[in-house]
């Protein structure tokens, strides 16, 4: 890795904040997170899969887990483990949050995936996490299910900052933007904009997933080509679109963002102190080894955006990433790509629905797997007791 020049330039020259999509206890305790911040990383995202890997990876959590089990259930002990890491990470990022005028330095923590389709439980979880952690640079992640979108509006209306995750399609993204704007309006209507109603303290990002879209679309394109046969023009048209749809859709998503956060409605909110809900490009590691390793970073650079990258992608970009504004180049071509993929028979709206369901299920499986592992560990170390139930 270089001295981090590219990571810093990504923000200073192009207005995009690079975040790290990973968090572990040794990463914090041994100075790895601080080193990343020093190189130019400006935020952290986490999810149930990340914590499953972190907690299962070694002995770093065992002492605290054993201590928590003396008076907590396994599930409560899990949240104790997670919140310690989040608080420590928030403290590492707090100087950046202050120095950036509260514009960066955020750490995201997701509500339990068990409640992804429960509006009331999601709103309650967001309240609880913000209250228990009580750091201004915390973003509570809420999945962008239909119920989650409703919960986002209510959470924002209550003055709480959010990261809306698992967005895979343009229609859902438009709903997420509307939930944020309406939530800000509800907040101002309820509080005014005095000391108790400082709308500028509400932050938001909308996590638009990228590479998984190509994975699913490519699968469908190859099935269409196979069914058509090599001599059918549909086959060639379908195969020519592989690896192009995710970037095209993301570029169009950025156009939705710029349109929503301009004009009279937004100008009124902005005058009251409101901040934009930045689009965050997630799932930006390349899944297909035939594609450039920085396809979902180099192609999506632009102002008022975030790109959250796993460790390997951060290293790759810092070493040889391209620094150029690319997010709003080739918009006509992007729209044409989306039109052509529909013409060959891929239903992009259905792709988004399938990926949303898969995303929620994947996080739930990670959460359930971790709970099962922690329960087994608790039972083997302490024996059966009320404190080792998962309820």
**Full residue range of the structural domain in which residue 45 is found:** 5-385
Question: The CATH number of the domain where 200 resides is what?
Answer: 3.20.20.70
DSSP state of 112: P
Question: Quick one: 162 exposed, middle or buried, by C-beta within 10 A (0-12, 13-18, 19+)?
Answer: buried
Residues belonging to the active site: 141
Whether 348 maps to a domain, the answer reads yes
Is the pLDDT assigned to residue 388 strictly greater than 60?
no
Per-residue model confidence (pLDDT) at position 196: 54
Number of domains observed in the structure of the chain: 1
Q: How confident is the model at residue 386 (pLDDT cuts 50, 70, 90)?
A: very low
Chain segment 194-251, per-residue pLDDT in tens: 545 799 999 999 999 999 999 999 999 999 999 999 999 999 999 999 999 999 999 9
Whether 256 maps to a domain, the answer reads yes
Is the pLDDT assigned to residue 1 strictly greater than 50?
no
How far is residue 148's CA from residue 156's CA, in Å, rounded to a whole number?
A: 12
Is the pLDDT assigned to residue 291 strictly greater than 90?
yes
Chain segment 97-132, per-residue pLDDT in tens: 999 999 999 999 999 999 999 999 999 999 999 999
DSSP state of 284: -
Whether 391 maps to a domain, the answer reads no
Report yes or no: 254 and 307 within 8 Å, Cβ to Cβ.
no
Per-residue model confidence (pLDDT) at position 193: 55
Report the pLDDT averaged over residues 73-91: 96
Whether 367 maps to a domain, the answer reads yes
- Sign for the CA dihedral angle at 22, 112, 151, 245 comes to positive
Closest of 102, 92, 158 to residue 130, by C-alpha: 158
Is the pLDDT assigned to residue 192 strictly greater than 90?
no
Measured distance between the N- and C-terminal CA atoms of the chain, rounded to whole angstroms: 45
Whether 390 maps to a domain, the answer reads no
- Look up the pTM and report it: 0.94
How far is residue 40's CA from residue 301's CA, in Å, rounded to a whole number?
A: 15
More confident residue, 196 or 284: 284
């Amino acid at each position: 890795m270089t001295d981090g020049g590219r990571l810093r330039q990504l923000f200073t020259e192009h207005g995009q904040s690079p975040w790290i999509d990973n968090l572990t206890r040794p990463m914090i305790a041994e100075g790895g997170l601080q080193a990343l911040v020093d190189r130019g990383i400006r935020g952290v995202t986490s999810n149930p899969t990340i914590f499953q890997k972190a907690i299962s990876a070694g002995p770093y959590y065992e002492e605290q887990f054993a201590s928590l089990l003396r008076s907590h259930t396994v599930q409560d002990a899990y949240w104790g483990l997670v919140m310690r890491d989040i608080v420590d990470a928030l403290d590492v990022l707090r100087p950046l949050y202050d120095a950036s005028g509260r514009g960066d330095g955020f750490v995201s923590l997701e509500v339990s995936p068990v409640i992804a389709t429960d509006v009331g439980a999601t709103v309650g979880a967001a309240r609880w996490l913000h209250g228990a952690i009580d750091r201004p640079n915390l973003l509570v992640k809420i999945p962008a299910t239909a119920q989650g979108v409703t919960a986002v509006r209510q959470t924002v209306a209550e003055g709480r900052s959010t990261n809306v995750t698992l967005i895979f399609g343009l229609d859902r993204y438009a709903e997420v933007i509307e939930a944020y704007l309406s939530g800000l309006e509800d907040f101002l209507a309820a509080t005014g904009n005095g000391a108790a109603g400082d709308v500028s303290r509400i932050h938001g990002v909308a996590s638009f997933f990228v590479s998984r879209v190509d994975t699913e679309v490519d699968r469908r394109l190859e099935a269409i080509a196979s069914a058509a046969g090599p001599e059918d023009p549909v086959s060639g048209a379908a195969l020519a679109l592989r690896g192009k749809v995710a970037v095209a859709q993301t570029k169009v998503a950025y156009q939705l963002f710029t349109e929503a956060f301009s004009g009279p409605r937004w100008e009124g909110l902005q005058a009251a102190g409101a901040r934009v809900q930045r689009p965050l490009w997630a799932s930006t590691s390349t899944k297909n080894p035939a594609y450039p390793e920085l396809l979902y970073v180099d192609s999506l650079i632009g102002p008022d955006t975030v790109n959250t990258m796993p460790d390997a992608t951060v290293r790759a970009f810092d070493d040889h990433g391209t620094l150029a504004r690319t997010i709003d180049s080739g918009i006509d071509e992007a729209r044409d790509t989306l039109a052509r993929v529909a013409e060959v028979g891929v239903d992009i709206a259905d792709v988004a629905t399938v990926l949303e369901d898969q995303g929620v299920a994947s996080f739930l499986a990670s959460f359930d797997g971790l709970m099962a592992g922690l329960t087994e560990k608790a039972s083997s170390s302490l024996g059966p007791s009320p404190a080792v139930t998962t309820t």
